[in-house]
Amino acid sequence: MASESNDIPTDRGEPGQPAGRFQFGLKQLLALPILVALLCMVVKESGMICGGTLLLLFVCAAGLWSRWTPLTQFAAASFLLFAFLFAIFLPYADVGAERRECASQMRMLGLALGNYHAVRDQFPPAYVPDDKGRRMHSWRVWILPYLDEKVIYDQYDFDEPWNGPGNGQLTREAPWPYRCPMQEVREDASPGMTSYLAVVGPRTAWSGAKSAKLDDFSDGASNTILLAEVCNSGVNWLEPRDLHVVQMAPGVNANAGQGISGQHVLDGANVLFADGSVRFLSTAISAEAIDAMITIDGGESIDWKALQAQEKSYPPSNAAR
């Protein structure tokens, strides 16, 4: 009679193991720390849902790993890698596209301002007052014909203030070039609010009711800011009010006060320069550098290469998301 032995071959080919029990191998145990690190990264960048989904996929794959053929194991590993990369880079792809669209809209405003200057040999004033000094009309209404918005321009009544009984009907919704795409996803954002403000004040491109010419920009058009993106500005697109240098918060995305700010994944905001170019200024930009970009004749030198290197070395946060 043959002696009994505990070394009974199981359906997994492992002697001494009861059938149906799963045991992690050395490779799986070594992979656990890597999995934990990847999960932490996914949760940080994409949230708990993506992290939980990746964990579930890994557990299911690990439970069946030893029963699969090498070809199936390769397919499962490729799928998990794709799921991980998708979870990491999807947020950047989505909001990155909106940031580019935001910059594109600012270029449209720059082109409209440039065409206005080409026709009238000057930029529009920041606002037009009445005979008592009250602000009546904004620069934003003067460039409507150059934005293919002549229908709205023709409806505007220059004989009454911007919020008069007739013009008040136009304040309800801003034309799309005046709104950053990220504003559309804000529940507290009014459809009549603009995302782009002129930087106004002494020695800027917008000195109130006085119009400026490119010949006045001794610092150079490519070094002087015309418009800045301002998150949740609270300014109606027809309102003759903008971002004053005396009142604006320093830097970009300041914690307190209204200033240059955006809602993009990479911390920062778009700004339009007098030559029509748009640059993305990160929160790594110093207040001193911004001050140099605001004046038209300050004589400051701007080291763009140094600023770009500083931006690349600055890690983005999730604060804007």
pLDDT at 284: 84
Structural domain includes residue 11: no
Structural domain includes residue 16: no
Structural domain includes residue 6: no
What would the pLDDT profile of 246-260 be if each residue is shown by its tens digit?
A: 989 988 998 877 899
Which phi-psi region, left, alpha or beta, contains residue 231 (left: φ > 0; alpha: ψ -120 to 50)? beta
How many domains does the chain fold into? 2
**Token couple for 1:** 């009679």
Which residues of the chain have a pLDDT value below 70? 1-96, 184-189, 265-266, 306-321
pTM of the model: 0.69
Give the C-alpha separation, 99 to 104, whole Å.
9
Cα angle value 93/98/102 (rounded, 5°) = 145
Structural domain includes residue 319: no
**Token couple for 86:** 């998708």
Among residues 139, 266, 269, the alpha carbon closest in space to that of 198 is found at: 139
Whether residue 190 is found in the same domain as residue 291 = yes
Distance, C-alpha 241 to centroid of its chain: 23
pLDDT at 12: 46
pLDDT at 190: 85
pLDDT at 33: 58
Contacts of residue 196, defined as CB under 8 A and 6 or more positions apart, other chains included, come to 105, 106, 109, 178, 180, 227, 228, 229, 230, 272
pLDDT at 13: 45
What would the pLDDT profile of 64-110 be if each residue is shown by its tens digit?
A: 555 666 666 566 666 666 666 665 555 555 556 777 889 999 999 99
Structural domain includes residue 18: no
pLDDT at 121: 96
pLDDT at 299: 84
Structural domain range at position 246: 97-312
Whether residue 138 is found in the same domain as residue 180 = yes
Whether residue 139 is found in the same domain as residue 216 = yes
Whether residue 85 is found in the same domain as residue 201 = no
For residue 111, what are the β-bridge partners?
none
Whether residue 162 is found in the same domain as residue 252 = yes
Structural domain includes residue 193: yes
Whether residue 109 is found in the same domain as residue 212 = yes
Instruction: From 49, 75, 90, give the residue that closes a domain.
Output: 90
pLDDT at 82: 64
Whether residue 274 is found in the same domain as residue 130 = yes
pLDDT at 8: 46
Structural domain includes residue 151: yes
Structural domain includes residue 82: yes
Whether residue 216 is found in the same domain as residue 74 = no
